[in-house]
């Protein structure tokens, strides 16, 4: 079971890397570009791996802080909501990539500093 947990953490960290990469791709694409679908894919990966880690916690002997998980989930719902709305528009507003990246960094901070 420990291997499954580590595999999920591995994918969870790759998902985080993907969201960070989306920010730089978005900068390169320019201000009149649509929002990259990768925001949705990276966010979905974070959601699935995060939920799986929590669901498996009785088997992996991990006791996660549920308030912390709730905050991370809420921040991710905002990320996915923004991505879902703006991925359909022909051009994303200039604040959207910065807001999304800020929320990703906020979740990394919550993950690391909230013990
Ligand atoms: C943008 C969204 C997210 C980012 C950037 C993110 C980032 C991270 C990072 C960097 C870690 C490693 C921290 C450490 O080991 O000290 C982590 C761990 C974890 N995350 Fe997330 N996370 C996100 C969303 C979520 C969501 C939505 C959930 C649950 C629904 C979740 C559940 C977890 C759990 C349970 C761990 C601990 C894994 C373990 O060490 O066993 N995460 N996250």
Kindly give the confidence (pLDDT) of every residue in the chain, 115 residues in length, as a single tens digit, with 9 standing for 90 and above: 999 999 999 999 999 999 999 999 999 998 889 999 999 999 999 999 999 999 999 999 999 999 999 999 999 999 999 999 999 999 999 999 999 999 999 999 999 999 8
Residues 6 or more apart whose Cβ sits within 8 Å of residue 1: 56, 59, 60
DSSP H stretches of helix in the chain:
2-29, 38-55, 57-60, 66-87, 95-113
* Residue 75 CA from chain centroid, whole number: 8
CB 3 within 8 A of CB 88: no
Distance in Å, CA 1 to ligand 1 centroid: 18
CB 40 within 8 A of CB 87: yes
pLDDT of residue 32: 86
User: Which amino acid residue places its CA nearest to atom 12 of ligand 1?
Assistant: 111
**Which mutation among 63, 73, 111 tests ligand 1's pocket best, with the greatest number of atoms within 8 A of CB?**
111
pLDDT of residue 64: 96
Instruction: Assess whether the C-beta atom of 112 lies below 6 angstroms from ligand 1.
Output: yes
CA 52 → CA 4, 24, 112, distances in Å?
10, 28, 19
pLDDT of residue 31: 84
pLDDT of residue 100: 98
Distance in Å, CA 50 to ligand 1 centroid: 6
Q: Minimal CA–CA distance to 23: which of 109, 101, 108, 106?
A: 101
């Amino acid at each position: 079971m420990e291997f499954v947990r580590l595999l999920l953490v591995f994918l969870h960290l790759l998902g985080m890397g993907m969201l960070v990469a989306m920010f730089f791709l978005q900068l390169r694409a320019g201000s009149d570009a649509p929002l990259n679908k990768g925001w949705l894919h990276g966010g979905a990966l974070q959601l699935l791996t995060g939920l799986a880690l929590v669901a498996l916690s009785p088997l992996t002997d991990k006791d996660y802080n549920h308030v912390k998980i709730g905050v991370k989930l809420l921040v991710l719902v905002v990320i996915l909501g923004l991505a879902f709305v703006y991925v359909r528009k022909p051009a994303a507003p200039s604040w959207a990539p910065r807001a999304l990246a800020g929320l990703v960094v906020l979740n990394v901070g919550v993950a690391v500093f909230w013990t």
